[in-house]
Amino acid sequence: MSGLGGVRHLYVHLPFCASRCGYCDFVTLVGKAGRHAAYVDALLAELGLERDLLAARLETVYLGGGTPTFTEPEELRRLLASLPPAEEVTVEANPETVTPALARLLREAGVTRVSLGAQSFQPHLLRALERRAGPDDVRRAFYHLRDASFDNVSLDLIYGIPGQSSSDLDRDLEEALALGSEHLSCYELEAKAGTRFMHAHGEELARQAEAMEGYFQRVVETLVGAGYRWYETANFCRAGREARHNLGYWLGHDYVAIGIGAVSTVGKRRWRNEPSLGRYLAALRAGERPPRENESLGPAVKLQERLMLGLRLDEPVSLAAVGGAVNREALARLERLGLVTAGAGGLLLTERGRYLGDAVTAELLV
């Protein structure tokens, strides 16, 4: 457990975007070019307030958004220069923002890894997602990153998009594989009831629901067949190229997160900064912590989370570590159904078990 100064993962939230995509449920702000400097000031002020929690040398830093690369380049440079050093520094980027200059800027600022939000390679699907980039932008951005000698690039793909046929899915996977990124994150579109997106596409999605049920398996089989390791429910990598930052979450490490809407977990404390930009800036200008929601994590909850997150991985969770959260009868039943194995190394979901991970976890928990 980490006490004072032990946290080795830092997340920085950069909420600004050129426009908002219909399906997105992150804390984002459109435009506000004039506030970027003030926001970076505030981030650095918050970092100063939480500095004592962090280890001197970090394992990972992750800049997520929003669109971090939409931030004014000077401000982005200033921010990156002021963050503590880390072994892995990831920045999320949207394809249309990645110019050769930006790629160089990131590289020179010590970024080691870029996560590129490709989502799809097909115009009609990108349009459905309300993305600004076209397929060529995605490829171009990827090559700019390679040109700036990034050897650790991840692509984000979304499947289950309204209007996406199974051959559309195959084509997207083919395109992604052709680029040969070190890492792939593949998310099923999570459209929330009551959103504008659902309003526009809900019927279409309902119609496709049954056909799309097999997409996940299709993604896994294709990528594993191409030599990627399915190391987490939605993440695939070449050997040794796991997203170390995210692995920290799944292994139950502590993390400090700064910026609006950002969630930190340190020991049994979890807090979430309120998503309001105005209040965030005002508080930090006054040298105070921003308004937060606090959550206290009891030992039982810690165990539950440890099990829930650990089961997402392709390496076993030690039964000794999470045994208290496991219903043994359910475990025996799930083993019989071929969904879980409980070996010497601990608990591990089978391939089918991983497709049904949430249901299996719900059943396993006491």
Partner 1 sequence: MSLERIRNFSIVAHIDHGKSTLADRILELTETLTGREMREQVLDSMELERERGITIKAQAVRVLWKGHQLNLIDTPGHVDFTYEVSRALQACEGALLVVDAAQGIEAQTLANAYLAIENDLEIVPVVNKIDLPQADPEGTAAQVAELVGEDPARVIRLSAKTGEGVAAALDAVVERVPPPSGDPLGPARALVFDSSYDQYRGVVAFVRMVDGKFKTRERLRAMAAGTTFEAEELGFFSPVRTPSGTLTAGEVGYVITGLKDVGSLRVGDTITSQARPASEPLPGYKDVKPTVFAGLFPTESDDYPELRDALEKLKLNDASLFYEPETSQALGFGFRCGFLGLLHMEIVRERLEREFDLDLLVTAPNVAYRVWTKGGDEVEVHNPADFPREVERVEEPVIRATTIVPKDYVGSLMELNNERRGRYHHLEYLSEERVLLVYDLPLAEIVYDYYDQLKSRTKGYASFDYDVLGFQEADLVRVDILLAGDPVDALSLIIHRSSSYARGRALVERLRQEIPRQLFDVPVQAAIGSRVIARETIKAKRKDVLAKCYGGDITRKRKLIEKQKKGKKRMKQVGIVEVPQEAFLAVLNLDTEKRG
Q: Starting at the edge strand that comes first in sequence, how are the strands of the sheet with 263-266 ordered?
A: 263-266, 269-273, 292-296
Residues in 184-243 at the binding interface with partner 1, rule: CB under 8 A: 186-188, 190, 213-214, 216-217, 233-234
The rounded Cα 165 to chain-centroid distance in angstroms is: 25
The two tokens of residue 77 are 């440079």
Taking each helix axis from N to C end, the angle separating 277-285 and 36-50, rounded to the nearest 10 degrees, works out to: 60
- The 122-151 contact track toward partner 1, x by CB under 8 A, reads ------------------------------
By the rule CB under 8 A, 308 interacts with partner 1? yes
Q: Is 24 in the site for partner 1 (CB under 8 A)?
A: no
- Contact pick of 83, 111, 262, 326 for partner 1 (by CB under 8 A): 262
Between CA 21 and CA 237, with CA 189 as vertex, the angle to 5 degrees is 105
Q: Segment contacting partner 1 (CB under 8 A): 50-58, 77-85, 135-143, 330-338?
A: 330-338
Mark the segment that binds partner 1 (CB under 8 A) among 71-79, 141-149, 221-229, 298-306. Answer: 298-306
Q: Which is closer to partner 1, CB of 282 or CB of 365?
A: 365
248 contacts 256 by C-beta, under 8 angstroms: no
- Which DSSP state fits 267? T
Q: CB nearer to partner 1: give 144 or 302.
A: 302
| Among the listed residues 52, 56, 47, the one whose alpha carbon sits nearest the alpha carbon of residue 79 | 47
- φ, ψ (nearest 5 deg) of residue 271: -140, 150
Among 22, 153, 312, 326, the residue binding partner 1 under the rule CB under 8 A is: 312
Q: Is residue 339 close enough to count as binding partner 1 by CB under 8 A? A: yes
In this structure, the number of other CB atoms found within 10 A of the CB of residue 205 comes to: 19
Q: Which is nearer to partner 1, 91 or 148 (CB)?
A: 91
Cα 160 to Cα 80, 116, 163, 187, 222: the distances in Å are 35, 19, 8, 9, 16
Rule CB under 8 A: which residues touch partner 1? 11, 186-188, 190, 213-214, 216-217, 233-234, 246, 249-250, 255, 257, 261-265, 270, 272, 295, 301, 304-305, 308-309, 312, 333-334, 337, 339, 354-363, 365
